[in-house]
Amino acid sequence: MKKVSFFLSALALVAFAACNNTAEEAVVEETVDTTVVEEAVTEDTTAVEATEEVAAEGEEAAAE
């Protein structure tokens, strides 16, 4: 009877040792970087737009 108890104890010990090998894996999160690039307004484009507005106002004033 002692041999059977010892065998069952050893079997339980091996079973617990075999099931206890859970390795914790590092969680890796992947992120996607999305950047929106807007066109920079330069002084040349604002100067051209301002000149066109002044010219249009001048034409309206001349028409009146």
- Across the chain, mean pLDDT equals 75
Rg (CA), the chain: 41
In a domain? residue 11? no
Domain that holds residue 50: 36-64
In a domain? residue 22? no
Residue 17: is its pLDDT beyond 60? Answer: yes
State how far the Cα of 52 lies from the Cα of 50, in Å rounded to an integer: 5
Tell how far CA 19 is from the center of its chain: 36
pLDDT of 50 reads: 62
In a domain? residue 61? yes
In a domain? residue 1? no
Which position has the token pair 């051209």?
A: 48
What are the DSSP E strand ranges found in 1-64?
none
In a domain? residue 50? yes
pLDDT single digits (tens) 25-52: 777 788 877 777 777 666 555 555 666 7
State how far the Cα of 49 lies from the Cα of 38, in Å rounded to an integer: 19
In a domain? residue 5? no
For the entire predicted model, the pTM comes to 0.32
Percent of the chain with pLDDT over 90: 17
Give the count of domains, the chain: 1
State how far the Cα of 23 lies from the Cα of 31, in Å rounded to an integer: 25
